[in-house]
Chains A and B, each alone.
Chain A
Amino acid sequence: MLTIFIRTLLVYILLIVVMRLMGKRQIGELEVTDLVTTLLISEIASVPLTNLDAPLSHAVLPILLLLILEVFSSVILLRCSRLKNLVSSRPTVIIQRGILNQRALRELRISLDELMSEIRQTGLSDLSQVQYAILEKNGSLTVLPKSKYAPLTPDQANVVVPEEGLMHIVFSNGQYSKTGLALIGKDRSWLQAALKRRGLKEEQLFCITANEQGKLFWIRKEETK
């Protein structure tokens, strides 16, 4: 067990270093420490399932240790920015004020084709339309277009658009959702009254969504033959 304890510790540190050196391309949506923990736990958890000669403790101990290391690293990294910069990467600006940073592209090992593909996915067709392109810590590319290629916003057009709150499910499967109603600041009697005003009956409805402004949207049940 002592050997397993120290080995887990060593492999965890080694994997963090390796993942950090591999760069952002391999990370995906996770932080380096999260990825390493996920990678190791999934592998370790299968050991006692497939190897009946190994006691359960050979999986439980490393998993618990990884969990502890994950919590510790997240707390320490939150408080120590220097260490955070060392363990997790920082966002890298690939295009700044319309100028492509070729060195950054080389360092990140991103080909121009890949960059173009990412840019196209944001709705732009050419590098010349990009003002800023930033490779975020999680490996995703944020693309900000030049003003003349950016979509016109209501603010730029001096149009006042009222804020529409988020729609929440307030009724589904024949039941009122207390959580949904609470989120829009309404109650069951309000919804029942609103349905009555519209001449709707609960049993006819599949689901209802509503927002804070009292806007309702409903889907009727399909008729069963």
Chain B
Amino acid sequence: MKVFYLSAFLLLALIAAVIGNAIYINNVVETMLTQVQSLPDIRQEDCVFRITELLAYWEANTDRVYLSVGFLSVDRITEQSKLLLSCAECGNNCGFSDAKALLTDALCDIKRLEEVHIGNLF
């Protein structure tokens, strides 16, 4: 029975870790999405500053996100964030819009993986 109680404890710990991780990932992604959606026009002065902030926030969380999210998905967000920054810095409006759309898409992908719905499970 000792093994049974240990397993029960492990199960509870596992469920807590999984739910905690889902909340954390969701939180990070939501914050990122909100920041991306509220990015000002490329011509505005604080656009580069806001993207730098966004990138800094992402890089601060990357190590923890790497623990549970596939490396390719994480790298995709990093790449698109950097592309967004370089487009903003050189004033490439078209590239900026593309990078913003792709970043939103990549973030939604990670969010989707943590959601429980039929389409995701099967």
> In the complex, A2→B72 CA distance in Å?
18
Interface contact A71-B3, CB-CB below 8 Å: yes
List the A side residues contacting B116 at CB < 8 Å: 2-3, 6
**Which one, A30-38, A49-57, A135-143, is touching chain B?**
A49-57
**Which one, A60-68, A125-133, A202-210, is touching chain B?**
A60-68
List the A side residues contacting B19 at CB < 8 Å: 2
Interface magnitude class on chain B: 20 to 34
Does A217 belong to the interface (CB within 8 Å)? no
List the B side residues contacting A10 at CB < 8 Å: 121
Does B120 belong to the interface (CB within 8 Å)? yes
Interface contact B114-A61, CB-CB below 8 Å: no
Does B21 belong to the interface (CB within 8 Å)? yes
> In the complex, A120→B68 CA distance in Å?
55
Interface contact B7-A72, CB-CB below 8 Å: yes
Interface contact A68-B22, CB-CB below 8 Å: no
A-B contacts, CB under 8 A, total? 65
* Closest beta carbon of chain B to A137's beta carbon, Å: 22
Asked whether A53 and B4 contact (CB < 8 A) given A2-B19, A6-B116, A7-B121, the answer is no
Q: Mark A1-28, 1 if CB is under 8 A from B, else 0.
A: 1110111001000000000000000000
> In the complex, A132→B104 CA distance in Å?
69
Q: Mark B1-27, 1 if CB is under 8 A from A, else 0.
A: 101100110110011011101100100
* Closest beta carbon of chain B to A6's beta carbon, Å: 6
> In the complex, A3→B73 CA distance in Å?
15
Asked whether A5 and B7 contact (CB < 8 A) given A53-B71, A55-B67, A57-B67, the answer is no
Does A159 belong to the interface (CB within 8 Å)? no
